[in-house]
Amino acid sequence: MGRAKQSDAIEIGGQHIQAGQRASLELEIARLYTHSPLNVSVEVLHGKLNGPVLLICAAIHGDELNGIEVVRQVMAKIDPKKLHGTLIAIPVVNVFGFIHKSRYLPDRRDLNRSFPGSRARINSGKNGVSVL
Ligand SMILES: [Zn+2]
């Protein structure tokens, strides 16, 4: 195997993350009916060296909480300075459901049935596009 090359910075949600760095991002995914922004938290480990990009996520069903802790433990154990590639984590995908302790989105659609989503659809379909 040849030597892996140093990664370039990546841009997610308008923020640049340098090679070998860890970042916590808040991406606005929707507005509540009060116009309050609703954010999804995204954790990024951008490896010092080039490699594949992997996304891990949890709580697509907002009342299923075990995966949130799994994501936290995985992200805590990996050192981006030793990582080849990039690990992106969304610990809580269904923020609506998480807040309301509900499996579903506010319109009772199941986010797990909404991928890959469509830019033409609203609510769960749109969420599938914007998150993943
Ligand atoms: Zn589930």
Q: Are 17 and 44 in contact (CB under 8 A)?
A: yes
Asked whether residue 118 is assigned to any structural domain, the reply reads yes
Domain that holds residue 63: 10-131
Numbers of helices and strands, H then E, in the chain: 3, 6
Radius of gyration over every alpha carbon of the chain, rounded to an integer in angstroms: 16
Asked whether residue 80 is assigned to any structural domain, the reply reads yes
Ligand 1 centroid to 65 CA: how many Å?
A: 9
Asked whether residue 3 is assigned to any structural domain, the reply reads no
Asked whether residue 122 is assigned to any structural domain, the reply reads yes
Ligand 1 centroid to 2 CA: how many Å?
A: 41
Q: How do residues 59-78 score in pLDDT, each as one tens digit?
A: 999 999 999 999 999 999 99
Residue 129: pLDDT over 50: no
Q: Are 105 and 124 in contact (CB under 8 A)?
A: yes
Q: How far apart are CA 99 and CA 65, in angstroms?
A: 12
Written as one letter, the residue type at 31 is R
Residue 5: pLDDT over 70: yes
How many domains are contained in the chain?
Answer: 1
Ligand 1 centroid to 63 CA: how many Å?
A: 8
Asked whether residue 5 is assigned to any structural domain, the reply reads no
Ligand 1 centroid to 118 CA: how many Å?
A: 21
Protein residues near ligand 1, an ion, with CB under 5 A: 61, 64
Output the pLDDT for position 121: 53
Q: How far apart are CA 92 and CA 60, in angstroms?
A: 7
